[in-house]
Amino acid sequence: MEGASRRETEIAIAGGGLAGIVAAYELLDRGRRVLLIDKDSRENFGGLAKESFGGIHLIGTPHQRRLHIHDSPELAWRDWQSVADYGQCDDWPRAWGRFYCENSREYIFEFLDQKKIEFLPLVNWPERGIHAPGNSVPRWHIVWGTGHEIIARLLAALDAHPRRTHLDLLFDTEVSGVEMTDGRATGLYSRAIDGGDVRVKAEHVIVASGGICGGDLSCVCANWYKPWGDPPRKLLNGAHRYGDGMLHTQVAALGGAVTHLDLQWHYAAGVHHPAKRRPDDGLSLVPPRSALWLNARGERIMHPGPMPVYGDTRHLVASVLAQPGQYSWQVMNWKIAIKELAVSGCDYMTAFRYKKKLALAASLFFGNKDLVERLIRDCPDDFVVADHLDDLMERMDEKSLYGLTIDRARMAATVRAWDDMIERGPAYFNDEQLRRIANARAYRGDRVRTCKFQRIVDPKARPLIAIREFILSRKSLGGIQTDLQCRVLRAADGQPIPGLYAVGEAAGFGGGGMHGKRSLEGTFLGGCVLSGRLAGRGMAS
Ligand SMILES: Cc1cc2nc3c(=O)[nH]c(=O)nc-3n(C[C@H](O)[C@H](O)[C@H](O)COP(=O)(O)OP(=O)(O)OC[C@H]3O[C@@H](n4cnc5c(N)ncnc54)[C@H](O)[C@@H]3O)c2cc1C
């Protein structure tokens, strides 16, 4: 690196997402000097968390207690292990999962609370499980103001920190490697986007560069989970544009263990993002419970039972991947859409994002008409609207791919059978999806956003809406293996590489894959806060 400019610091952090920011904050608290480098521009400081919805998995909070939800670290750990389905040798992932369950209140909730980050009073309940238990109780706490608020508050806290002068920030600069001296990490190699190498000398290095599920998706496809066969022909991108796994490769080349990259957390209800910021840019919908989920031929997906929304995200993905064409349709009507359809992330959920209490209350009582109108307008590639089922099916077929077509007679019969069963009344609900809807409506957090057994072809609920949905790539469950101090462990002997740390999604949120195969949801933001804090503490001690 002839002619490189040089910088010196105590701790160099590669990546300014939530995990890197929290680590920086902890280190300032402990009087350390920090240089944080990010490839992205200053306006995107905060990474994916800034566009996230801000749902966080927490156990034993005052919000749960107020709702008389009896939760405990023991119950949470039981649920966690049930969905994680860890492999025999997953000692570090297990240690991290357990630590999360035992310490989420102190390490995550209290930390955010001290930064004046508030949660909505109603705790949500995703990932209830299907074949194995999921969340036994609601644990998904929504930040008022979404992930945008988390980042805004944390950046304000960094700025107001009494030791703010100990922190240097460098944007538009890509970290390309870790400098090693006698087996110890001693700095970073980096390059400004507009040219010019920057060499950073540091006592410790933290890799906080996020997951592998973004970039150009080549890393996702190269690490595709083998039992699922080949990746689908169309895969939408819902992760970070710089989430290309480059630093994972660097760490592996230095002898660090990088594990479980084939365990990825995708979503089944992706549509093309209207912003089209990159090829196959995706928007992840939160699928309605009361819609019928059909395959590319218009057949109801039964894998083996109906698609259990809020049951097991990985199962939904695997079910769609097992269908012809590996994309799907959700069929509903206006009434279902305004009550149940939502978007993961903050851009479309404006009442949450801009903290509009009245708008939120109105959308809960009268439905979120603005959202549905906006989606229909902005996403013409994937949304189809019609007053009559025949017209709807014809328009769906105009969007059919790979030579597959809707079997209209079969689809019409499926919709009729569904509507007839609803007409017969709850005593005759002989369908798992309807039983799950009944169960969801028993919890008040879900009742407010779940229709009361709504027929699809209902003249009072028109128009009909069909949404063409693709698998959307989002989060890496695997990553750089770390111990509970976030020290990167060597593949050869499991010993820490001196001076080298990893946090957040880069570390599989801790331990190289603390979730195992599945998440209980909200554990991603939570895992970033937890690992960022542990790294800061571990390093300072
Ligand atoms: C729309 C959306 C909604 C979500 N909603 C939720 C939710 O409700 N709950 C939840 O728990 N999780 C949610 N998530 C997931 C969560 O936001 C992420 O998993 C988490 O924010 C990852 O944080 P991170 O700091 O590990 O990585 P990132 O946020 O990916 O940050 C990594 C940073 O590193 C930088 N970088 C990458 N490579 C380099 C390099 N070579 N050199 C320098 N810099 C580099 C990037 O520019 C980026 O700023 C959501 C994600 C999205 C996209």
Among 346, 343, 294, which Cα is nearest to 323's? 294
Q: Is the pLDDT of residue 1 over 70?
A: no
pLDDT of amino acid 308? 85
Q: Which residues have C-beta atoms less than 6 Å from ligand 1?
A: 14-20, 37-40, 47-49, 51-56, 147, 174-175, 208-210, 238, 240, 242-243, 246-247, 344-345, 475, 504-506, 522-525, 528
Among 12, 52, 108, 94, which Cα is nearest to 512's? 94
Three-state SS string over 133-148 comes to CCCCCCCEEEECCHHH
pLDDT tens digits, 310-330: 999 999 999 999 999 999 999
pLDDT interval class at 303 (50, 70, 90)? confident
pLDDT tens digits, 389-407: 999 999 999 999 999 999 9
CA 402 – CA 394 distance, rounded (Å): 16
CA 73 – CA 108 distance, rounded (Å): 14
Element (H, E) at 476: strand 464-476
Question: Phi and psi of 235, rounded to 5°?
Answer: -125, 125
Whether residue 274 has a cis bond before it, omega within 30° of 0: no
CA 288 distance to own-chain centroid: 18
Average pLDDT score over residue span 135-149: 98
Among 289, 269, 331, which Cα is nearest to 448's? 289
pLDDT tens digits, 236-253: 999 999 999 999 999 999
Question: Ligand 1 pocket check: which of 144, 525, 533, 534 to mutate, most ligand atoms within 8 Å of Cβ?
Answer: 525
CA of 48 to the centre of ligand 1 (A): 3
CB atoms near residue 114 (< 10 Å): 10
Q: Is the pLDDT of residue 54 over 60?
A: yes
CA of 417 to the centre of ligand 1 (A): 43
pLDDT interval class at 539 (50, 70, 90)? confident
Ligand 1: residue whose CA is nearest its atom 6: 52
pTM: 0.97
pLDDT tens digits, 162-194: 999 999 999 999 999 999 999 999 999 999 998
Compute the CA torsion angle 473, 19, 135, 240 (nearest 10 deg): -10
CA of 474 to the centre of ligand 1 (A): 9
Task: Return the structure tokens found at 304.
Answer: 């083996």
Q: Is the pLDDT of residue 67 over 80?
A: yes
CA of 49 to the centre of ligand 1 (A): 6
Assess contact for 332 and 465: CB atoms under 8 A: yes
Q: Is the pLDDT of residue 106 over 80?
A: yes
pLDDT tens digits, 194-208: 889 999 999 999 999
